[in-house]
Amino acid sequence: METEKLRVLFLCTGNSARSQMAEALVNARMGGRWQALSAGVAPTGGVNPLAIRALSETGIQHEGESKHVNMFLEEDFDLVVTVCDDAAENCPVWLGKGKRAHLSFPDPANIGGTDEEKLNAFRGVLDDISVKIPALLDEQERDFQAKGSTLKR
């Protein structure tokens, strides 16, 4: 019998970098256990090309689109993770089903400098996401297993 995947929603302001990178990373590296989606409280309409480039350098291909959090209010998630302080402040109460967590990552799109310096900012945030997000999801999975079920089912 196949186990149903746990579902996680990553939220940030524009849904163009941090939440997109978290979604892509989880689906690529933890996709056997988790299904990840992402959204923003003020979506930009697209994914930052530097986020796509940083992901592709790690072997992750991602073709996301920037989505508004309201698209997901009726859906059930096991976990909803805000990945920036602005999203945490602007989405203080998740009205849908699912436990809520917050991990703050700096917005790499706010870094100035040369193209290489900007790309390095995206690489650095992706490296941080690559460590902290899997650790959080592993912890949540252990917690769900200890309770004998997930929150949404």
pLDDT at 94: 52
Q: What is the pLDDT of residue 140?
A: 92
Task: Tell me what pLDDT residue 149 has.
Answer: 59
106 is written with which tokens? 């700096």
Q: What is the pLDDT of residue 45?
A: 87
Alpha-carbon dihedral 94, 98, 99, 103, rounded to 10 degrees: -70
127 in Cβ contact with 133 (< 8 Å): no
Beta partners for residue 68, in sequence order: 40
Residue 152 has a pLDDT of 46
Closest among 86, 78, 72, 83 to 23, alpha carbons compared = 83
| Domain assignment of residue 70, yes or no | yes
Helix, strand counts (H, E) of the chain: 4, 4
pLDDT of residue 117: 96
Q: Tens of pLDDT along 2-21?
A: 568 999 999 998 999 999 99
What's the pLDDT score for residue 137? 97
Domain limits for position 41: 6-147
Helix (H, G, I), strand (E, B) or coil at 70: helix
Spatial contact of 84 and 18, defined as CB atoms under 8 Å apart: yes
Task: Let me know if residue 63 belongs to a domain.
Answer: yes
Task: Determine, yes or no, domain membership for 153.
Answer: no
Catalytic residues: 12, 84, 91
- Residue 118, domain CATH: 3.40.50.2300
Low-confidence ranges of the chain (pLDDT < 70): 1-3, 86-98, 149-153
What is the pLDDT, as a whole number, of residue 1? 41
Residue 152 within any structural domain of the chain = no
In single-letter form, the type of residue at position 71 comes to M
Q: pTM for this structure?
A: 0.90
pLDDT (0 to 100) of residue 133: 98
Assigned domain for 1 exists = no
User: How many domains does one find in the chain?
Assistant: 1
Sheet holding 97-102, edge to edge: 34-40, 6-12, 76-82, 97-102
